[in-house]
Amino acid sequence: MNLRDVIHGEVIDHELRLGIGEVAARAHVQDTFIIELVDYGVLEPFGGNRTEWQFSGTDLHRLRRIVRLMRELDVNVGGAAVILDLLEERQRMRNHLDLLEALLNK
């Protein structure tokens, strides 16, 4: 790994709204993969049917994490979804713990 790989990133506006094609293109995946993730409940688009779906920056971030988990850990979509849920729950717990510690240290 070189330094360029380490510092490469993209700022994601979590209020952003993207259609299925644009989300798929930004994550370098097929539309069918996005549909599968919606079916699993990993992504929750706004809008009624697939042609109206709009995804947030948060969805794009989750999608990229799922792709990375699948690639790096060689797990299927379901396994990556469970891992992502656990990682996010861990972060929420850590945030709560930090808040509690801050309150106790006042």
Q: Which domain holds residue 45?
A: 3-104
| Mean predicted confidence (pLDDT) in 82-97 | 94
Give the pLDDT of residue 13.
Answer: 60
**C-alpha–C-alpha distance, residues 81 and 73, integer Å:** 12
Give the pLDDT of residue 48.
Answer: 82
Going by the DSSP 8-state scheme, the letter that residue 41 receives in this structure is: T
From residue 17, alpha-carbon distances to 28, 55, 82, 83, 87 in Å are: 17, 5, 25, 25, 24
26: CATH: 1.10.1660.10
- Strand stretches in 2-79, DSSP E: 17-18, 55-56
pLDDT at 49 over 80: yes
Tally of domains in the chain: 1
Q: Which residues contact 50 (CB under 8 A, 6 or more apart)?
A: 20, 35
pTM of the model: 0.76
- 3-state class of 28 per DSSP? coil
